[in-house]
Every structure is written in structure tokens, then in C-alpha cells.
Structure 1
Amino acid sequence: MKPKLLVIIGPTAVGKTKLSVELAKRFNGEIISGDSMQVYKGMDIGTAKITEAEKEGIPHYLIDIKDPDEPFNVQEFQERANEAIIDIHSRGKLPIIAGGTGLYIQSVIYDYQFSEAPTDPAYRKHLENRINAGEIDSVMDELRNIDPESAERIHPNNVRRVIRALEIYHCTGKTMTDQLLDQPKEMKYDTLLIGLTMEREKLYQRIDQRVDLMVEQGLVQEVREFYQQGLRDCQSIQAIGYKELYDYFDHKTSLNEALDALKQNSRRYAKRQLTWFRNKMDVVWYDMTDTEGFAKKTEEISAFIAGKLLIKANK
């Protein structure tokens, strides 16, 4: 018997955190964050990290496990998430992954195998020479054109990974993302994927309101502390909400322009998340546009989960 696994996915600001906690209470569950940036300590406001009060006593995993100057990738996420799933299941509880990083979640539920693609030293040297000559923006544009998902994940200053992503495509004709997605789609666990969606105008409004609330909560100061520590050439600072404010601190934009860019980039990210989930994952979708009807929607989702995973909900 495969361990049961519940996965809650959807775009940023759609309500995954609140629902996952409610479902964990109902189904004796524990939650694994599927967010690629909430792993970083101190990046609390900008990543909308769940607070201790919001957890309502439910254990959470893969949050605050990395310092901001440390790298983190899909393979490490897969390893750590699998360990957490086995641990949670061994104690008779239901593992619940909640998050919005599509490739990370897929790597776990489909048990992706990470193997080495061929190399081309001459091509790699060519890219290194271009980057050393100051052409990193041009090289990143090439990566965005052929593999936008990898370009989203890889910081331009992580030259080794930028080059490797382009080298894989050069050698195989397939992107790094395609190689993962082409793997057999046999699920490692008895998995149920619940997707949350929302009418786009309402979702974008919620995203804008969330950014305004982040600013009230101290987002600018949170990012300024990283800036003053000299954190720059690292993956964490590429997160939405941090890179835009770095431009403000570098006097490239005004604060209002930086916040407008943050909102716009968050809306674009939400759109990409929805496209990814709908095209590449087998999901049962629930519309959360009526935020006043959250309790009723939670009952509906709970009944569906109980029937599909054959588990009883707590009263």
C-alpha cells in the first residue's frame, strides 16, 4: 500500500495556507511547505510565510531550513520532502504538501530521477567567455527563451547553473525542465491533488492587497536588512519582493516604482503558476472566488478528500 498524500496547489494569494491548516486539523495531518523560497530564514514577510499563530499547532516542514546565502534546488527539496512524508506517515498522520512551486511538487509525487546529461566543454567555455565579457543579460535572455521555468528558478549570478541549463539544451535538444517532465508519470504515493483557483480580477486584487499589507508589516525593512548584510549574489534574493526592492536600494527606481513592479511580477507569477498546474498536473479544481463562502467550500473539499483517500474527517 502506497502512503497517502494530499497536495494543495494554486497561485499565490488564493488561500492555500488557510485551507491546508483547516484540512490538517480535520484529517490528522501535518504540512510540508512546497514553496521554494519559504525555506530561507528571515524571509518571512516577503514570502508570506505562515506565522506561529496561523499554524494553530499544526507541525510544518521545510520552512526556515536554509540561510539566505545557501543554495536550494529541486533535488534537495525532493529528498527532504520524501523524508518528511515517510516520517509523518509512520506516525499515523496524513502528509499534506501545500505550495505553489510546480516543479518541486511534481518531483516528489512522480519520484523524478535526477541523472547527469551529456556535457560539451567547448560550448561551456564559450558561454563562460561571454559571461566574463559582461553578456550575462544576453545569456539569461537565451535561457528565458528556451526554458522559462529554469530561468525563473536560477539566479543570473549562479553562473554554473545558468551555463548547465543551456548546455543541457545544447547537447540534448531538450530543456532541463522538459527532461524532468518527460519522465514516467507513475505516482510514488497514493496522491490526491486539490487545486484552488479564483476569478482572475479578484485574485489580482488580493495580490495587490497582500503587497500593501506586506509593506505595512515591514517588508521594506526586512529586505533592507539583507541588502545591508551584503547579500546579493545568491538565489534567495531573486525571490519576488526582494529583487524589486534591491533596485530601489540601488537607486535604480523609486519606492513606488519598486512596489508597482512587485505587484506586477506577483500577478505574472500567479498566471504562470495556473498555466503550469493546468497543463502539467492532474488536479481537481475548486473555485475560491467567493471568499465569504470559505467554510462551505472547505466542507465540500473535505467530503471529496474523505471519499477519495478513504479517510475519516475529525468533527
Structure 2
Amino acid sequence: MGTQIKKQKVIFIMGATATGKSRLSVDIAAKYSGEIINCDKMQVYRGLNIVTNKITEAEMKGVPHHLLGNIDPESDFTAQDFCYYALAVIKRIVRSGKLPVIVGGSNSFIEALVEDPFFGFRSKYECCFLWTDVSSPVLYSYVGRRVDQMVDAGLVDEVRDIYDPMADYTRGIRKSIGVPELHEYLQWETKVDHETAENLLNVAISDIKSNTCKLTDSQLSKIYRLRKELRWPIHRVDATNVFLRRGKEAEDVWEKQVLQPSLKIVRDFLNGNKNYVHHHFY
């Protein structure tokens, strides 16, 4: 009689950009002794911390993060590269008795890791998929404000530091939204009058906002496909109300409507609750 190999458990936190994935991953990892593996294909690269919106040291709250800002920015980091790196890190995390928490908006990387038969992920690991969702009109509005905050924080200077008039925007970190859009402004800012330069900058910022919103649409489409076509049991957690509040009220809504439901889903998953999928799938 064959013995069934016990699968190790892995948490995935998915969602469009700017929906609170990083915050939720830290909260879950802190609660369940986890370590986080970044799955944002631009945040894996070294540099451009503002442009790629990397989580800060303070926001990490002491939770170990992997695959965050340590890849050569000139290289092309593929889905296959991610799979090799992630699998090695997952093995180390599990061996140390911790819970792997994979977080990011690069759904193509997540799909490759889980579905590629070469890696045999499903034969070794049991997955819990969480999806932080925010209604599109609310998210678009927030994206606009966040881009303005990034500009205030030094986004333009950060891109200027790596500006190359002959740059290839199809490779490495230069594919990040915020870099190609500023090319024309950086090319002409010292060659035209102030008003023209300001207009070029405003167009670039508008394009960054627009392209980020398009990215969120693309990310959502992929999640819908994974849920509908591949039948992934992705548990949607609606964070919309958090983005409609400010200050303490927003914190309270996060706790009640996002964090506590998510912790319950993870708790049921880790405890092997047989009603886990039935209660949380749709």
C-alpha cells in the first residue's frame, strides 16, 4: 500500500497593482510565521524603488522578503527564471519551518510556477490563492493620486538618473511603467523653454497614470481567466471600502473587511478545514 506524500502549503496573494497586496502579505506572514517571496516582475530588479513602488523596510515590519531588488536591472528576468528562484527559496523557507507567502501582480509568473509540468509544483505543494480586489473606478482614482505621490517623492529624478537616449525599453527594469513615458521629456527638458518642458512632463505623468490603469485591467483579466478557465480556487477579498475611507476609519475597515476574512481563509487552509474551498471559493 503506497504512502501519500504530505504536500507543503503555500499562500499566494494576487491582485491588480495598488490594491494592498504587500500590506496583506506582511500581515499574514507576521501572523503565521511566514516569509515573503516577491512576484512582481519589475520589483525583482535592483534600483528604481519609487518607480517600481517597492515595499519599504518599515512596511516589511521585520518579515523576511525574497526576490526583491536583487536582480541585475539590465538583465531579462523571465517567468522560467522566477520559477527556479522561487522554488529554491520555497524549499529553504519550508525547511526552516516557516510558511511561504508569494505576493505580486505578475500573474504570468504565478501561472508558470503552478501550472508548468516541468516544475511539478502541484505534486509537492498545496496552494491557497487570495485576491485583493478593488472596484475599477475607485482603483483608477487611487492610482492617479499614487502616481502624483510618487512624482512628489522623486520619481522623475530616479528615472533621470538612468536615462539613456539610446535605451532599449523592451528589456530589464526599463520596461517599468514610468520609464518609457518620461523619455521624451528627459530628451527635451534642457533644450526647450520652461513652459514646453512642463507640458511634456504633464503629458508623461498623464501617460503613467493611464498605462497603470491599463495594467490593472490586464491583471484582472488574467485573474478572471485563472479562476474561470483553469478553475483555480481564488478567494476574492473586496478591499474597495478601505480606499473610500481615510485615517483611522480606513484602518478599521481594513481590519474588519480585509484582514480578518483573509486570516480566516488562511487559518482554515492551514488547519485542513474540509469546508475551506466550499466556504470561500466563489
Output the TM-score relative to the length of structure 2. Answer: 0.81
Check if 1:223 corresponds to 2:186: no
2:131 alignment partner in structure 1: 195
In structure 1, the residue matched to 2:100 is: 95
Measure, in 2, the Cα distance between the counterparts of 1:279 and 1:228. Answer: 38
The SS at the match of 1:290 is helix
Could you list the structure 1 runs, at least 4 aligned residues long, displaced by more than 6 angstroms after superposition: none
Q: Is the 8 A contact 2:22 2:55 kept in 1?
A: yes
Deviation at 1:113, TM superposition (A): 3.0
Which stretches in structure 1 are left out of the alignment for 5+ residues? 115-183
Deviation at 1:251, TM superposition (A): 3.4
Aligned equivalents of 1:190, 1:32: Cα separation in 2 = 16
Distance 2:121 2:70 in 1: 29
Per the alignment, residue 258 of structure 1 pairs with 204
Spell out, residue by residue over 1:55-100, the C-alpha distance to the aligned partner (whole angstroms, 9 max, x if none).
Answer: 0000000111222212211111000000111110111110000000
| Matching of residue 207 in structure 1 with residue 143 in structure 2 | yes
Task: State whether structure 2 residue 175 is matched by structure 1 residue 238.
Answer: yes
Counterpart-to-counterpart distance in 2, 1:188 and 1:272: 30
- Structure 1 residue 235: Cα displacement: 2.6
Matched residues in 2 for 1:17 and 1:280: separation?
A: 21
Q: Specify the alignment match of 2:32 in structure 1.
A: 27
Distance 1:187 1:217 in 2: 45
Report the AA paired with residue 270 of structure 1: T
**Residue identity in the other structure for 2:151:** V
In structure 1, how many angstroms separate the alpha carbons of the residues matched to 2:28 and 2:18? 18
Q: Please give the root-mean-square deviation of Cα atoms over the aligned residues, in Å.
A: 2.2
Equivalent pair of 2:7/2:123 in contact (CA under 8 Å) = no
8 Å contact kept, 1:31–1:98: yes
* C-alpha separation in 2, matches of 1:47 and 1:272: 17
Could you say if the C-alpha distance between residues 66 and 185 of structure 1 is closer, same or farther in structure 2, counting changes exceeding 3 Å?
closer
Aligned-partner SS, 1:14: coil
Q: Which ranges in structure 2 are unaligned for 5 or more consecutive residues?
A: 1-5, 190-198, 243-249, 274-282
Give the structure 2 partner of residue 76 of structure 1: 81
Aligned to 1:300: 261
Give the C-alpha shift of residue 212 in structure 1: 0.6
Q: d(CA) in 2 for partners of 1:86 and 1:19?
A: 22
- TM-score under structure 1 normalisation? 0.73
Cα distance in 2 for residues equivalent to 1:64 and 1:236: 10
Q: 1:208 deviation in Å?
A: 0.8
Whether the aligned pair in 1 keeps the contact of 2:35 and 2:99 (CA below 8 Å) is yes
TM-fit CA distance, 1:238:
1.5
1:274 counterpart = 2:220: yes
Instruction: Check the 8 A contact 1:31/1:59 in 2, yes or no.
Output: yes
In structure 1, how many angstroms separate the alpha carbons of the residues matched to 2:187 and 2:211?
A: 19
Deviations 1:14-41 (A, max 9, x none): 0001111011100100000000011111
Cα separation, partners in 2 of 1:47 and 1:92, compared to 1, 3 Å? same
Q: Distance in 1 between matches of 2:78 and 2:176?
A: 14
Distance, in Å, in 1 between the alignment partners of 2:124 and 2:42 is 24
Q: CA deviation at 1:109?
A: 2.1
CA 1:52–1:13 in structure 2 vs 1: closer, same or farther (change >3 Å)? same
Correspondences of 1:279-294 after superposition (within 5 Å):
279-281=225-227, 282=232, 283-291=234-242, 292=250, 293-294=253-254
- Give the share of equivalent positions with the same residue, in percent: 35
Q: CA–CA distance in 1 between the matches of 2:146 and 2:272?
A: 34
Partner of 2:20: 15
